[in-house]
Structure 1
């Protein structure tokens, strides 16, 4: 792709149709401008000829709406983040794509962006897979940047009071704040 050893590598995490435009039971997601922000970042990386790696979640549960075989439309990349020719697409079944040795994500990053590549992360869900992949990349020694406005998060149940729902924006703010304040280089 024309990369050098100093090029950042963009990880597009779980920006799938079934998450960006979720089923009603998932509740609302944060970041209303997600679908306009993501293409801008992708366009910038593509114009610079910097590497982009797409990662989609393929759930083990055949009833889950992100099961590739049962729900291919929900599993597919959302239109705002569709890969172009030459951009790798990995399918993970864990929170972090780094933990599946068959995917070889750390090696792919190093081969595309160099051994000391900076990793830029966008995607879903800020409190789950974005968090998991950020922590893994950081643990492996990559310098990581998470673009908060190109990530989205769902709300969650308050563990102290199961009748209370924590809103999507509040959950997103907390998730990104944990990443920003908890790791070197973010």
Structure 2
């Protein structure tokens, strides 16, 4: 019987930019430590890790390609052997090598972590689902920030987080916890 390929861990947009004031009041400020734990688990098992780095073209963005906060956070910095996918849009599949890398790994599913759940994470999950992937989303390995609507209504980060997870969990991703992911992919 042929062994199943290892499930890749994808870390999305965890860059110094996310610590700038525009991203304050996160619903889950400890998400990075959760990602670190998953990253350590993946590395200790020799499983594939893919980092996605957002290089925003807009100069006013904290993620601006030439900005001071564009680097991947040191807590989750890639090893030389780990692929770094560069993206310029909110979706990690648009104009990137992510789909090709996952295909080369024979991955039909992957674990997605990163920021923020209602922006790049959401866009990537929806596109990944449309491409036929099963996406495993440990809810404690992501976060949200408050959102203000076009008419001034503001939703707090926890409401945004819970609503987005409810929507994504209704048919786009398997929403779970990091503890369940480690138990499911334990060794």
**TM-score w.r.t. structure 1 length?**
0.86
1:107 to 71, 81, 100: 100
Distance in 2 between residues matched to 1:52 and 1:119, nearest whole Å: 10
Alignment size in residue pairs: 173
1:55-66 map, 5 Å: 55-66=52-63
d(CA) in 1 for partners of 2:93 and 2:135? 14
Kindly state the Cα deviation for residue 66 of structure 1 after the two structures are TM-superposed.
Answer: 0.9
- The Cα offsets for residues 45-74 of structure 1, whole Å up to 9 and x where unpaired, read as 1111111111111111122221121x1x31
Q: Could you tell me which residue of structure 2 aligns to residue 149 of structure 1?
A: 140
Residues 1:75 and 2:67 aligned together: no
- Determine the C-alpha separation between the residues in 1 that align with 2:79 and 2:6: 19
Find runs of 4+ consecutive structure 1 residues off by over 3 angstroms: none
Q: Which has the higher strand share?
A: 1
CA distance change for structure 1 residues 25 and 111 in 2, over 3 Å: closer, same or farther?
closer
List per-residue Cα deviations over 1:15-60 (Å, max 9, x = no partner). Answer: 11111x12x2333112122121111000111111111111111111
Match runs of 1:8-157 below 5 Å? 8-19=7-18, 21-22=19-20, 24-69=21-66, 71=67, 73-100=68-95, 103-112=96-105, 114=106, 116-157=107-148
Distance 1:177 1:184 in 2: 10
Deviation of residue 104 (structure 1)?
2.4
Partners of 2:36 and 2:102 lie apart in 1 by 21
* Pairing partner for 2:155 from 156, 166, 170: 166
Provide the C-alpha distance between the structure 2 equivalents of 1:125 and 1:84, rounded to a whole number of angstroms.
23
Q: What RMSD in Å do the two structures reach over aligned CA positions?
A: 1.7
